[in-house]
A and B are shown apart, each in its own frame.
Chain A
């Protein structure tokens, strides 16, 4: 799996936040994006998962000799962000079951249990998401993102609201992801800056 950006520019609302950004990311490489609030970190991640269109430039994923636009590559991506909301009126395993179905993945209760176990939510699968604390909600976002083993992980503020154990869990997930594909992490946390093979410092718009 390989990710390439060619002179990408994008707006947040009416403002330009990203302009002329080009980069290449290979299998197993970790890119950390940092920068002040409003510098376009979240916008970059939204571009990478096709939730927003660049105003110019091109983003391409290449997997097994085939090129994908971000929108076409969604089934290969896992996105975690404070903007990602799951259904509060459903339980955690109902959420996972639903997303597996719409993704077209074969899924069983055991799969839900295993995934919840991986994000250290074992035993809480039958609680409504509305009863979750913010840290537990963040863990559930990882369960959502890791469903079906994505090739690319796109993590926005990956450890926000998490405790020490949660942070360790996230760092483990990032390390494990190296064998599947590239990881992009948007953060200002110094402990995560150290994780990156590359650090991209975004400047806020003039």
Chain B
């Protein structure tokens, strides 16, 4: 068990260090976030805070996050495969440690993306947040759901040709429930509804995270050794 933690931590640190040196995923993610926020603010402008406005803002925020995530989250696995370092890793690391390390790495990336995108939306689109606590909770759980659902898929598509297109094709249908819940919940949080209104959504996201995480950790070794 201690060995697993140690190996997971090593994989995470290795990926972070590589990322800082190559900026392979980071540039793509952040540029995407900036372009999305700019396009939205130029195209839509400040919407105010009517009940339709908060729905539109919530949807745009999550569409920006989703597409940035679909652009960047596959890269750590794809890079191992493209630079053919996956063989060296497969011979030495426990599969579960690889999965957990990459999952944590993707979480770090997405947390950064959340921060940048939200700030840009606050400034450019003049989104005002009614219930900040609920907003942050939804942002975090929504992001964790994105990561637990897509990390396994990233490992799958790393083995296929036509990788980048395939990632979105495979991930999107599985993410529909998350998107519906998180967009509606974010709209409530923007409007300033109380915690009790958002609670069922948080519960659902939590259940989704648990189910996809458990399924991924069971299925990952098959993908890794395929």
Direct touching of A and B (C-beta under 8 Å): yes
Interface size bracket, B side: 20 to 34
Q: Given that A71-B225, A102-B7 are contacting pairs, would A87 and B14 also be in contact in the complex, using a CB cutoff of 8 Å? A: yes
Contact with A along B82-94 (1 / 0, CB 8 A): 0111011111111
Q: Given that A94-B17, A104-B6 are contacting pairs, would A88 and B83 also be in contact in the complex, using a CB cutoff of 8 Å? A: yes
Residue A36 lies at the interface, judged by CB distance under 8 Å to chain B: no
Tell me the count of chain A residues lying within 8 A, CB to CB, of chain B: 22
Residue B22 lies at the interface, judged by CB distance under 8 Å to chain A: yes
A85 near B88 with CB under 8 A, answer yes
A15-23, A26-34, A76-84: which one contacts chain B? A76-84
* CB-nearest residue of chain A to B18: A89
A102 near B85 with CB under 8 A, answer no
User: How far is A85 from B80 in the complex, measured between Cα atoms in Å?
Assistant: 10
Q: Given that A85-B83, A87-B85, A104-B3 are contacting pairs, would A98 and B10 also be in contact in the complex, using a CB cutoff of 8 Å? A: yes
Main secondary structure of the interface of B (DSSP, over half): helix
Q: Which of B34-74 contact A (CB under 8 A)?
A: none
A74 near B91 with CB under 8 A, answer yes
Residues of B near any A CB (own CB < 8 A): 3, 6-7, 9-11, 13-14, 17-18, 21-22, 83-85, 87-94, 97, 225
Residues of A near any B CB (own CB < 8 A): 49, 51, 71, 74, 77, 79, 83-90, 94, 98-99, 101-104, 144
Apart from A77-B91, A86-B85, what 16 extra A-B contacts exist at CB < 8 Å?
A: A51-B90, A51-B91, A84-B87, A84-B88, A89-B17, A89-B18, A90-B18, A90-B21, A101-B7, A101-B9, A102-B93, A102-B97, A103-B92, A104-B6, A104-B7, A144-B88
